[in-house]
Structure 1
């Protein structure tokens, strides 16, 4: 039951972080605006592949140096908390300017590489995905399954968001509210990370 609750909490935090505007989501959004949802779906698979490799690398790396630096996970969580707080501020600003993105062409390789280098992967591996996932293969498979189940609908959401923004100004106002509420949740989550990294050390 405790493991299930742990992965349930992970699912909620994964959804919150994934929905944040960022480089990968911007590419999905711009492709959705130009090419439509059906032609953008393959890019979501590129995102999934990029996150899978990046999370696997960061999780294994952090676990391998934990014996030499026992506090590595705590300090990484604090660093991630600062980054998430900055993302919350950035999201609030973006909510005030929902103009159509001006990105260039978005292809499979571009989305894959952008996701592979996305700092969110470090947040997932160090602060959100349970540490046991990088110790037990069963837990790793379970954690990544949960992660991917959440990633695909969020990716599709961003891919179709560009078209939705063109429907009416009212839709844009709803998106603005959603982004600002998510921004507040991110600030709360950043404080939780500081608590887990400092208070509980």
Structure 2
């Protein structure tokens, strides 16, 4: 599934990764989706904070002024009210489009008939939080079994270590979004355990200094 580009203007755009069917990239998807919608002023629609404009009151087939309900609305009042409603409906539709186009076919099919962007976003959050206990165990197992290998090329090794740490952080973020966060102390132990044997002396020194500092 390819990423989705959300254009802000002719100079800039936000790229949102398509949310995988197994929600495995939620930790990457969520902040990018929020940033893209926030940059366009749409996040308040997803969270249900956007205020829907009140329509003008129709009395005897005449739209009345909101300032004085006993008088017909002036032309500029009609134009202003219509513009507010159009802007709200346009932004609501745009928010729903972003959510539907960046979620998996399974999830977008499930939420496509919901009437508001908030209802769609709420269902996405519920769907992500409903990952099974077995999936949490699988991710934790992968995290515990991670190991960064040795490499005599310093530059290549630095790149491998960087990617290694990034992947560990991503899996921790996934567990956190599933309601099973890894405690900081436990994560530190996993990081130390995953490093090559050549790091053992450095790890021991860091651990000793930490004990002495306490």
TM-score by length of 1: 0.24
Which is greater in Rg? 2
More helix by share: 1
Report which of the two has the higher share of strand: 2
Instruction: Point out which structure has higher relative CO (alpha carbons under 8 A, 6+ apart).
Output: 1
